A and B are shown apart, each in its own frame.
Chain A
Amino acid sequence: MSTDADCRLTHLEALEAESVHIIREVAATAQRPVMLYSIGKDSAVMLHLARKAFAPGRLPFSLLNIDTTWKFQEVYAFRDRVAAEDDIELITHRNVEGLEQGINPIDHSPGVHTDVLKTQALKQALTRYRVDAAFGGARRDEERSRAKERVFSFRDRHHRWDPKNQRPELWNLYNGRVADGESIRVFPLSNWTELDVWQYIHLENIPVPSLYFADERPVVDRNGMLIVVDDDRLPLEPGETPRMERVRFRTLGCYPLTGAIRSEAATLPDIIHEMLVARSSERQGRAIDHDAASSMEQKKQQGYF
């Protein structure tokens, strides 16, 4: 006779089961699903869960990487290693027109850069591949407007989100129906927190880019953020000299837009330890969220993930 304790799922087991259910539901119902792969820790967990969902078989969909060309070099190397694995089909898409116009995060505002090279690029790719369901690694605990986004989040023909007109989502009964041209963004990690993600990476030995771990890196101070000088594309201001500091990243955005933090955390337990005593939330390091109090909500309405 089994006891209750045997049947109890731990919180990570429960989250894992929910995510796997969500991923399989999309594979079973969507015509042309893709998994957005941004190379960060959340994408790593999402990919790991997808592999679990279809074991012992292969992933029944491709990964899609939206490339702004402004990620850290090490991030690209990590992506290329993942893309080389047997079971992975990775599509890379860039907004070629935007790049030809010379849009970049140094000469343009974070808003313009993100809109052209991320949001527009994403819409182009989703339209080109006629994607009807796209997985994203966003979590509800990241930001206040995300807290009320559905797991299956409807997008109209123009890839827009209407927060006031979302489909009710009950039990584990997801509604992924769309008409031609419409699509669903699916967030299998909706109920995970940053701590859950790190804990899971630790338990399951999931590889992540080493920029998450503290190391000596060349940095400069810009607008209150510590910017790592990753290559010679970052023009130094007069009097600015990169100095070596022991830093790491909590989030991996485009490099001049993502601030590093001073840290000694060189292992996963160190990172988790640091989180437990951390006093600022992870999106703080991203310039993009600071434009206005509700900026994320506005970007999401326009099609940003």
Chain B
Amino acid sequence: MTEFDIHAYLEQHRGKDLLRFITCGSVDDGKSTLIGRLLFDTQQVFEDQLAAVERDSRKYGTTGDAPDLALLVDGLQAEREQGITIDVAYRYFTTESRKFIIADTPGHEQYTRNMVTGASTARAAVVLVDATRGMQVQTRRHSYLVHLLGIEQVLVAVNKMDAVDHDRATFEAIERDYEDFARQLGIAHYRCVPVSALTGANVTRPSESMTWYDGPSVLEWLESVPAGGGDDSRRPMRFPVQYVNRSRSDFRGFCGQLAGGCVAPGDPVVVLPSGRRSEVAEVLLHGRAVDRGVAGQSLTLTLADEIDVSRGDMLVHAEQLPRVGDCFDARVVWMHDRPMLPGRQYDMKLAATELPATPEAIHHRIDVNTLEHQPAEQLALNEIGHCRIRTGRALAFDAYHSQPGSGAFILVDRVSNLTVGAGMIVRPVTDALTDKSENVTWHRQSVDKRSRAAQKAQRPAVLWFTGLSGAGKSTVANALEQALFQRGHHSYLLDGDNVRHGLNRDLGFTDEDRVENIRRIGEVARLMADAGLVVLSAFISPFRADRALVRELMEDGEFIEIHVDAPLEVCESRDPKGLYAKARAGVIRNFTGIDSPYEAPEEPEIVVDTAELSVDECVEELLAYLKRRGILIG
């Protein structure tokens, strides 16, 4: 290499980005071998390390004369001797285009907390499946946890292809099994790759033994998935104030790592929870003024006004406010031997805010293997619960899936100072929703949901039709129910008007009442799903938060959001109930699409375009979709 080459290299290396990913699987799946192979093939392994591995291979190894690459990654002595990976270990390697950080975590159920820890900072996941054994319970568990932590890019490495003669049919059968599961869970971006970590096939280079596979290798996939910076910068601006820099008498800067969005001088900001307003004067990156800060950067902001701001406050853009409140529902992963008990007080840390918090109730526990919701009175180590949390004072927060930086928190034991729980906020809770039935427990019945549904040759589901008035929700839902009935399925159509005449006749149209209306409908739909039914509901349900609320009540994969889509002009020209005319005339207020917004679904399970398709065509599409999803069997 000449001097010129090294400078070119430095220039290239300087432009690399960073991808953090997690590997999930157990020792038996060959996970350590896969990581060892990535490190070895990308030449991150030095001679003295290899010598140590060769020495250890003779002592602990399982590969005969060849160095056992798994020993490169097994860190602590106790683990080496037991041949298991106990904790989270971090590994580093770099290629021409990217630097990678691997969070290597153990696969067994008793290490769920370690996996959650590793997944919390990862942008992508590699889930290992042993080709000789196919999809296992742990494959589902790992995929669920990856999904829970909001990781959107998943690679399923079907390993040990050398042990099944590189058989294409074996791989494709596993790929199909995974596809069904991923759909049920809602994992949108995944890729199955047949590999042999032992021989290196499809890990960093294509395999001559599997010419039938023409997709990317594991490394190619890792080099191509989004690393995250762009996504985070498109979110609303969230700047948790971590530290106030007043080290000079004429300077008061607010330091923090921008959790979401971008920030520029002149941006109008609100300080939460106080609600004071100001404007960004300067954005400083390490003392230097810049035009703009982007998500992920550690910045110092100065404001145009001298207002009270301290550590724990959040600066947000004035037009994109988060929730401010003292109560929310969250998924909590418990990480300590002493169980989480409702009513006990913990200290919570969310971004830079630290305050007391009490889990008031556990709505249910989620079985990480079957994804079933179970009644629970406490959360034990490694258990995951859907809980209601009340904080000692109000704070600003977001739902985790839309804004991880202001939706994630940890719980700390007040006596031992240990981190005992990790939480992801699902939604805020307003007082109207507060549970008044604390002492009523959910009864476990001996005939369960699955058996009721299986008897009907279907899986329970809630088909949530949403769209503008006149888009055709009721028409399509009715026609679909007829088609289901003719095919022998058991369904029920929940109609908005009918519900308002009975169950919800005490509710009006205030914001609180609308939320309560949706909550009751959601609960009824949940009971019906528990009865094994395919539930259809047709309400405008204009707000994303409300639909998210119902989705949250259901088991993962049960809630199917169907966007019945037609342009406003088309709906208005249909005007089946004459409501648009009244709204335009000002006779009705708060009419969706006219003087009240409709928040279209961002990621509906399916969209039917009623401006383009006939009712029958819509029904055909939906039936085909439900079959693909495995909701209708046979």
Interface residues of A (CB under 8 A from B): 2-18, 20-21, 24-25, 27-28, 52-58, 60, 140-141, 144-145, 147-148, 163-164, 166-173, 175, 177-179, 190-191, 193, 195-196, 199, 202-203, 269-270, 272-273, 276-281, 284, 293-294, 297
Contact = CB atoms under 8 A, between A and B. Distances in A.
A206 to B, nearest CB: 13
Contact of B242 (A12, A25, A56, A273): A25
Nearest to B1: A273
7 contacts: A20-B286, A21-B257, A28-B352, A163-B76, A171-B120, A193-B99, A199-B10
Nearest to A3: B230
A294 B121 CA distance: 28
Chain A interface helix/strand/loop/mixed:
helix
Contact of A147 (B91, B349, B412, B418): B91
B14 A203 contact: yes
Nearest to B421: A168
Nearest to B349: A173
Contact of B298 (A24, A202, A273): A24
Interface stretch (B41-49, B361-369, B476-484, B557-565): B41-49
A172 to B, nearest CB: 7
B422 interface: yes
A16 to B, nearest CB: 8
A9 B7 contact: no
Contact of B47 (A167, A199, A280): A280
B410 A173 contact: yes
Contacts of A191: 90, 92, 101
Contact of A269 (B3, B98, B296, B419): B3
B225 interface: no
Given A11-B17, A175-B419, A293-B77, A202 B242 contact: no
Given A168-B419, A171-B408, A202-B10, 16 more contacts: A6-B294, A7-B232, A12-B14, A14-B17, A16-B286, A20-B286, A56-B251, A57-B251, A144-B75, A163-B76, A172-B121, A173-B408, A173-B409, A273-B6, A277-B1, A293-B52
Contacts of B94: 193, 195
B412 A175 contact: yes
Given A28-B242, A55-B287, A202-B10, A281 B49 contact: yes
Interface stretch (B81-89, B500-508, B522-530): B81-89
B16 interface: yes
B46 A280 contact: yes
A55 B48 CA distance: 41
B417 A179 contact: yes
Contact of A56 (B117, B248, B350, B410): B248
9 nearest A-B pairs in the assembled complex, by CB-CB distance? A57-B247, A55-B287, A4-B230, A7-B233, A52-B286, A20-B298, A11-B18, A177-B417, A294-B77
B417 A7 contact: no
B75 A8 contact: no
Given A15-B18, A272-B10, A54 B417 contact: no
B76 A294 contact: yes
Contacts of B256: 21, 24
Contact of A170 (B1, B7, B296, B410): B410
B422 A55 contact: no
Interface string B23-57: 00000000000000000000000111100100110
B90 A140 contact: yes
A53 B14 contact: no
Contact of B76 (A28, A57, A58, A148): A148
A170 B418 contact: no
B6 A28 contact: no
Contact of A10 (B1, B14, B234): B14
B262 interface: yes
Contacts of A169: 117, 419
A94 to B, nearest CB: 31
Contacts of A20: 257, 286, 298
Contacts of B349: 173, 175
B77 A170 contact: no
Contacts of B18: 9-11, 14-15
Contacts of A168: 113-114, 116-117, 335, 410, 419, 422
Interface string B369-399: 0000000000000000000000000000000
A18 B90 CA distance: 15
Nearest to B91: A147
Q: Which of B3, B74, B90 is packed against the most chain A CB atoms within 10 Å? A: B90
A4 B229 contact: yes
Nearest to A176: B417
Interface in B253-307: 253, 255-257, 262, 284, 286-288, 292, 294-298, 300
A202 B404 CA distance: 34
Contacts of A8: 17, 227, 229-230
A32 B6 CA distance: 43
A264 to B, nearest CB: 12
B311 interface: yes
B243 interface: yes
Q: Which of B3, B16, B46, B419 is packed against the most chain A CB atoms within 10 Å? A: B419
Q: Which of A173, A196, A273 is packed against the most chain B CB atoms within 10 Å? A: A173
Contacts of B233: 2, 4, 7
Contacts of A202: 10
Contacts of B234: 7
A10 B17 CA distance: 4
Contacts of B89: 147-148
A269 B311 CA distance: 41
Nearest to B351: A173
B624 interface: no
Contacts of B418: 167, 175
B519 to A, nearest CB: 30
Interface in B159-212: none
A101 B113 CA distance: 48
B17 A175 contact: no
A222 B251 CA distance: 56
B401 interface: no
B48 A193 contact: no
Contacts of B56: 293
A53 B298 CA distance: 8
A166 B335 CA distance: 11
Contacts of A293: 52, 55-56, 77
Contacts of B14: 10, 12, 199, 203
A24 B10 contact: no
Contacts of B121: 170-172
A7 B422 contact: no
A255 to B, nearest CB: 21
Contact of B245 (A5, A57, A147, A297): A57
Contacts of B297: 9, 13, 17
A179 B78 CA distance: 29
